[in-house]
């Protein structure tokens, strides 16, 4: 905050620590809630998880073609294993209201690549939402929107390490 002194020079008075502290506390609480939600991914029963096994060759089959209808879209959630050990990735999808819409998993071989589609979480129904994933392996996540006139467009993916697990969050996924 700026203060005017008697000689009309401006000085800076430090009043931010409480604001920064409050912001940091809110951010920490936000991250903790996300961690708790993601921690459930590795401990929940696997009965409702759809196992998917697609490699790079499968991706060529579903990549958009110029003859595809312009309004068909899907998000590809791509997992690259940077380690030599295979890793299972478990994901949970949420709709735009934050309601769970489904779970899917894939096994990524050492130094390999696998991907899921947003439609895997919804049995082919249209969805706009987010997906949260967790793994104990060394996996990096990327996301792409497939289809329409855009062809293939990169989407955001956020990644972090928590409690010995890699957490990958895809804040925007879409399937139609």
Rounded average pLDDT per 10-residue block, the chain, 176 residues: 43 37 34 44 66 78 67 88 96 94 96 94 86 96 85 92 92 90
Give residue 52's pLDDT: 86
Give residue 64's pLDDT: 66
In a domain, 7, yes or no: no
Q: How far apart, in whole angstroms, are the C-alpha atoms of residue 94 and residue 75?
A: 14
Domain that holds residue 64: 47-175
In a domain, 58, yes or no: yes
In a domain, 88, yes or no: yes
CATH of residue 162: 2.60.60
In a domain, 3, yes or no: no
In a domain, 42, yes or no: no
CB 131 within 8 A of CB 92: yes
Give residue 33's pLDDT: 42
Give residue 39's pLDDT: 45
Domain count, the chain: 1
For 167, the 3-state DSSP assignment is strand
In a domain, 19, yes or no: no
Distances (CA, A) of 173 to 52, 93, 94, 128, 145: 17, 9, 9, 6, 8
Nearest to 118 by CA among 165, 168, 78: 78
Count of other CB atoms within 10 angstroms of residue 136: 15
Give residue 10's pLDDT: 41
């Amino acid at each position: 905050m700026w203060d005017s002194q008697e000689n009309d020079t401006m000085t800076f008075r430090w009043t931010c620590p409480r604001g920064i502290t409050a912001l940091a506390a809110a951010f920490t609480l936000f991250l903790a809630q996300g961690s708790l939600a993601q921690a459930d991914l590795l401990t929940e029963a696997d009965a409702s998880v759809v196992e998917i096994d697609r490699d790079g060759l499968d991706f060529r089959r579903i990549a958009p073609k110029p003859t595809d209808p312009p309004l068909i879209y899907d998000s590809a959630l791509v997992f690259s294993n940077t380690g030599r050990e295979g890793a299972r990735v478990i994901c949970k999808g949420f709709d735009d209201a934050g309601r769970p819409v489904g779970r899917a998993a894939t096994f990524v071989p050492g130094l390999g690549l696998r991907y899921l589609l947003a439609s895997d979480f919804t049995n082919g129904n249209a969805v706009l939402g987010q997906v949260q994933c967790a793994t104990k392996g060394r996996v990096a996540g990327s996301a792409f929107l497939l289809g329409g006139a855009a062809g293939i467009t990169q989407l955001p993916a956020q990644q972090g390490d928590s409690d010995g697990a890699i957490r990958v969050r895809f804040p925007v996924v879409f399937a139609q």
